Chain A
Amino acid sequence: MKTDRKLPLKDAWVIWFMLGVVMLNYPFLHIFNKSTLLFGVPLTVLYFFIGWPTSIFVIYLFSKYLEHGTEEPLPKDQAERDDSGEAT
């Protein structure tokens, strides 16, 4: 089952990365680039300061997901240390 989960993860990651690039550039930014105040804050500023933590949260979810299995095995000796919790 582990192998079934590998590919979608990598694909989803790449898609999210590309989406981030699109959402942070023209013309997408132009949608929010207006002299409108929402809750007393300029729309452009609000867009960044809501979109930014949202994307960080998505990555947090990805990283939690990763803890259940890595795609490539760690080097054998490091994997052993990780398992035993031994410090370097």
Chain B
Amino acid sequence: MISLKLVILVAFFYFGILFAVAFYADRQRRMGRSLIDNPTIYTLSLAVYCTSWTFYGSVGRAATSGLDFLTIYLGPTLMAFSWWFLLRKIVRISKEQNVTSIADFISSRYGRSSVLGAIVTIFAVLGIMPYIALQLKAVAYSFDLLVYPLATSNTMHVLPQLDLHFDSALVVALILALFAVLFGARHLDTSERHEGLVAAIALESIVKIVAFVAAGVFVTYGLFDGFTEIFQDFLTRFPEREYLLRLGTDSNTYAHWLSMSFISMMAVMFLPRQFHIMAIENCHEKHIRRAMWGFPAYLFVINLFVIPIALGGLLLSNGDTQNADFFVLTLPLQFGQGWLAILVFIGGFSASAGMVMVSSVALSTMILNHLVMPVILKIQSKAKDLSALLINLKRLGILVVILLGYVYYQLLGESAALVNIGMVSFVAAAQFAPAVIGGLYWRQATQRGAATGLILGFVVWFYTLLVPSFVDSGWLDPSIVEHGLLGVDLLKPTELFGLSGFDIWTHALFWTMFLNLGSYFAISLLTKPRADEQEQIRKFVDVYQPVVTVPERTRITRAPSVVEFVDLMAKFIGERASSSTTTSRHAAVIWKMSSTCSVQSTSAVPPAGSSSASFTMRRGWSPADGICNRSSMKS
């Protein structure tokens, strides 16, 4: 057991360092320098992919299910190999179109459809809830284990020294919300680029890999005599568990392996936080070159000791898997390595905090741009200081996103293993894949096809993955899983339309992708891209085609033209609505906003006939994080 005071002291010291780094990065940016304009920092920031799922959950998975934890990292490794073609195209488009989030990317591709932006935002928020719950659970449990290792489920969340009962998950949620606001939404003029946040994430990535490798070296070489001894001891003592080191077993079929790999490949590209760090916070396309091998190398190193820790934990706990998710923390504690345990706790906290901060900031930006802004424009806000209203809404969005994760944890997360909670979110993120990848390469893809595919994909995701979770936690009557919806056998959530014999992830992936992709293709072929989609198709599919441009490098201090404003408003309320807005009652609201903005032209003026222009909100109002980033990149 570690002294509570010591844990709090070390934690606050670490928070201080993180904040100092973030503050320094923001200050450098204000001075015209960039701390994160560096391929190594970019690569490290991508490692926000490794959350407490990696830090704690992988060991738990390796100890209970076996080698399938590797798919979560082998899939992204494969995907990273395609980045020079796929990610570079996404980054190029994101810069040229001033994209601010994955919702913005999808809606921009399909004619700046505000409906599509709203759909993606709602699904992204719902889909990421379990993932945030996972982080809260991991930090809360690791804290409990550190300060009160004898806690059982009845005595969790108790501080015996202070005789205080408290909900550590809620405290963690509030601390992480505060962090996210401080790093991602302190004020609007700096939130146009989150350089401080990215710098903090990069530092956290170093801390978590150092902590995990330190624990791995301690277990492998401190408690055992290297890898060989661990494997041999394990196979001698638990020969019946050899399946943990094999594939094609009952718990680890090849179909399961394939679907987990595919889900991870899609998740690493289309989880909102990954998209944000990869595309929106990218400074230079050339940084992708190092990330292509640097990111997989990071994944390799952080996974090197997962199996030794898992098997070592099993050997030292007589095969008990109850606490397998937290072997990495309990083993140093059990063998009196207090400082190592604190380092592991800080590493685990870093893994969780990075994910929660970037996710909540990315989702909050999406909520603000695609759900709140259209409403504000419709109701003609009378607020005198619109910028204050918007930044506060963004902060509120961050808090709401994190608290939704907390609610999920309270309702559903207590009983499930870490990896199982996270996989629900991974399958949700995979639903964005057809609309994004299809939109990059397929001219015929239409807004109606994308919307139908997304809606069907998410409905089936909810039915095949969330409904069984509700049943597991006692929320729903088990009869829906046993006998199907309304007693119809074909509607069993885990054996939909009679598809049986697969694990829950393969089953859900098959049906979500079948319906998502199927309807995306079918509706796209049956409909034609509308006029407002045509121009965007060219800008996305043919982004590498040279366009004749006239350089314009001076900052425009005049008020923006109506055409320029229409283009900006199209991001929030759609192309057609924005066109009518300029002549409608909303004009007053827009021009009110214009008084708080200045406009910066892009270096590339679009060809005649195009209404594309990008804006930089210098003062007061910047709902679309990244707009400034993109514009300043070009100017």
Which 6 interchain pairs have the tightest Cβ spacing? A40-B228, A26-B254, A72-B544, A60-B293, A77-B603, A42-B245
Considering the complex, which residues of chain A in the window 33-47 have a beta carbon less than 8 Å from any beta carbon of chain B? 33, 35, 37, 39-42, 44-45
Q: Does A56 lie within 8 Å of B296, measured CB to CB?
A: yes
> Given A49-B304, A77-B634, A87-B34: A24 and B261 within 8 A (CB)?
yes
Contact with B along A50-70 (1 / 0, CB 8 A): 001101110110110011000
Docked Cα-Cα span, A25 to B247, in Å, equals: 10
Q: Does A13 lie within 8 Å of B84, measured CB to CB?
A: yes
Q: Does A29 lie within 8 Å of B254, measured CB to CB?
A: yes
Across the interface, which residues of A come within 8 angstroms of B67, CB to CB? 44-45, 48
* B interface, over-half SS: helix
Q: Does A17 lie within 8 Å of B242, measured CB to CB?
A: no
Residue numbers of A with Cβ under 8 A of B are 10, 13, 16-17, 20-21, 24-26, 29-30, 33, 35, 37, 39-42, 44-45, 48-49, 52-53, 55-57, 59-60, 62-63, 66-67, 72-78, 82, 87-88
Across the interface, which residues of A come within 8 angstroms of B284, CB to CB? 78, 82, 88
Which of B75-83, B131-139, B530-538 contacts its partner? B75-83
> Which of B34, B248, B254, B549 lies in contact with A88, CB distance below 8 A?
B34
| B interface, size bucket | 35 or more
> Given A44-B245, A44-B246, A78-B284: A56 and B257 within 8 A (CB)?
no
> Given A41-B227, A48-B70: A26 and B248 within 8 A (CB)?
yes
Docked Cα-Cα span, A29 to B252, in Å, equals: 13
A-B contact pairs, 19 of them (CB 8 A): A13-B81, A13-B82, A16-B81, A24-B78, A25-B254, A25-B257, A26-B258, A33-B246, A44-B67, A45-B307, A48-B74, A55-B81, A55-B296, A66-B84, A73-B546, A76-B549, A76-B603, A78-B284, A88-B34
Across the interface, which residues of B come within 8 angstroms of A52, CB to CB? 74, 77, 296, 300
B232 within 8 A of A: yes
Q: Does B82 lie within 8 Å of A33, measured CB to CB?
A: no
Best-surrounded residue of A24, A67, A74 (most CB of chain B within 10 A): A24
Docked Cα-Cα span, A55 to B75, in Å, equals: 13
User: Shortest Cβ distance from A29 into chain B, in angstroms?
Assistant: 6
Across the interface, which residues of A come within 8 angstroms of B242, CB to CB? 35
Q: Does A59 lie within 8 Å of B78, measured CB to CB?
A: no
Q: Does B289 lie within 8 Å of A88, measured CB to CB?
A: no
- The residue in chain A whose Cβ has the minimal distance to the Cβ of B239 is A35
- The residue in chain B whose Cβ has the minimal distance to the Cβ of A9 is B84
Across the interface, which residues of A come within 8 angstroms of B70, CB to CB? 48
> Given A40-B231, A44-B67, A78-B633: A63 and B290 within 8 A (CB)?
yes
Residue numbers of B with Cβ under 8 A of A are 32-34, 37, 67, 70, 74, 77-78, 80-82, 84-85, 92, 95-96, 227-229, 231-232, 235, 242, 245-248, 254, 257-258, 261, 283-286, 289-290, 292-293, 296-297, 300, 304, 307, 544, 546, 549, 551, 603-604, 632-635
Docked Cα-Cα span, A13 to B74, in Å, equals: 17
User: Shortest Cβ distance from A60 into chain B, in angstroms?
Assistant: 4
Q: Does A40 lie within 8 Å of B232, measured CB to CB?
A: yes
Docked Cα-Cα span, A44 to B632, in Å, equals: 50
Across the interface, which residues of A come within 8 angstroms of B551, CB to CB? 76-77
> Given A33-B247, A48-B67, A88-B633: A77 and B604 within 8 A (CB)?
yes
Q: Does A63 lie within 8 Å of B293, measured CB to CB?
A: yes
Docked Cα-Cα span, A49 to B123, in Å, equals: 36
Docked Cα-Cα span, A21 to B231, in Å, equals: 28
Docked Cα-Cα span, A45 to B247, in Å, equals: 10
Docked Cα-Cα span, A53 to B246, in Å, equals: 20
Q: Does A25 lie within 8 Å of B258, measured CB to CB?
A: yes
> Which of A17, A30, A60 lies in contact with B248, CB distance below 8 A?
A30
> 19 extra interchain contacts, Cβ-Cβ under 8 A, other than A40-B228, A67-B289?
A17-B78, A24-B74, A25-B261, A26-B257, A37-B232, A37-B235, A40-B229, A41-B227, A42-B235, A42-B245, A53-B297, A55-B81, A60-B293, A63-B292, A75-B96, A76-B603, A87-B33, A87-B34, A88-B632
User: Shortest Cβ distance from B437 into chain A, in angstroms?
Assistant: 14
Across the interface, which residues of A come within 8 angstroms of B635, CB to CB? 77
User: Shortest Cβ distance from B396 into chain A, in angstroms?
Assistant: 30
Q: Does B81 lie within 8 Å of A20, measured CB to CB?
A: yes
Q: Does A56 lie within 8 Å of B300, measured CB to CB?
A: yes
